[in-house]
Amino acid sequence: MISRRKFISNTSATVLASSLIPWAHAEETYPRRPIKFLVGNPPGGTDDLLSRTIAQSVGSTLGQPIVVENKGGGSTTIAGATLAMSPPDGYNVLCLTSAGIAQTALRENLRYGLKDFAPIIGIGGYPLALTVSAESNINTLDELIAKARSSKGVVFANAGVGTVAHLTAIMFLNTIKGDGLDVAYKNNPEALQALAGGFADMIFASASEAAALRPDKKIKVIAVTSSTRAVNMPDVPTMAELGYPSINSMLWHGFVAPARTPPAIVSKLADSIETAVNTSAFHNLMDPQAYQTDLIKGAELQNFMVTQAAKWKKVIADNKISVTS
């Protein structure tokens, strides 16, 4: 005769085992339908371009179409919230950017945080380029620092509060003990045009954007923020070479899934994205623009994301930076 306690125990074990079977089966057969790549900016941006390039290869590897869906707005937070609220089944993936990480540190009213993401893979990014107007009498970092430390300080352009370029400029001025007036524009092209027109003294632009404007001699690039020189501007020194290794921001990209996505699915996605990044199609497109590939996964990627958020959180807190929406 079986005891009531033993019966309940056996029944509970059976229910638990049966509840795990669908997940185990799903992992084995994943993917069974199209996968969606969420992008937090409108079509045409860097994250959109690289997501579409990677999507083609991932689709071939996994045998299912990858649909890129642009959910622009809220400085990438609309796409972030969409991903955080999606089922953890591997069919929704977010192209997370350095801007997206910074927003989790800036916006206290966000409905999600990094804890709501399962890291898949980090792929790398663009360095920023410390840039001044060609009409300026500033030609070196020392001359820019001298102006920032003067009574007038500098005027620095950016594409919005809380962007990586904006926070990097603040961090730079804090590091050199300089002063600056922040002028925000609608987007990076407008901010660069203002700089070229002499309406600002400096900007941290992407190395790709800065290099494209150099031939017209409307700007001068003082330094780049990567650990090595940018391939499209090999004559420009790094901030580390000039004595400021802490100014090392990158316009970074990675991919994340909703928290609690099964590890086997995360691993399959990571491997397929890594394969895509290692293709000649990806490198032929991104390398000439000074994109620096740096593949990281698992705990290393998780630590990177948390460390980056903490870095920007300190800059935001120390300088009392906030947004109203």
Q: What is the pLDDT of residue 77?
A: 95
Closest CA to 45 of 231, 251, 191: 251
Instruction: Give the CATH class of 11-126+251-318.
Output: alpha beta
- Six-digit token string for 236: 């420009």
Distance of alpha carbon 181 from its chain centroid, rounded? 25
- pLDDT tops 90 at residue 108: no
Average pLDDT over residues 275-301: 96
As a whole-number percent, the residues of the chain with pLDDT over 90 amount to: 85
Average pLDDT over residues 231-250: 97
Residues 3-25 have pLDDT tens digits of 544 444 454 444 444 444 454 55
Residues 302-311 have pLDDT tens digits of 999 999 999 9
Average pLDDT over residues 136-148: 97
Q: What is the pLDDT of residue 18?
A: 46
Residues 171-197 have pLDDT tens digits of 999 999 999 999 999 888 899 999 999
Q: What is the pLDDT of residue 4?
A: 46
The domain 127-224 belongs to what CATH superfamily?
Answer: Periplasmic binding protein-like II (3.40.190.10)
CA–CA separation, 192 and 185 (whole Å) = 9
Closest CA to 160 of 183, 127, 179: 183
Average pLDDT over residues 198-210: 95
CA–CA separation, 115 and 258 (whole Å) = 9
Whole-number mean pLDDT of the chain? Answer: 92
Domains 11-126+251-318 and 127-224 share a fold: yes
CA–CA separation, 244 and 124 (whole Å) = 21
Domain ranges within the chain, ordered by starting residue: 11-126+251-318, 127-224
CB atoms under 10 Å from CB of 304, counted, come to 17
Residues 253-268 have pLDDT tens digits of 999 999 999 999 999 9
Q: What is the pLDDT of residue 184?
A: 92
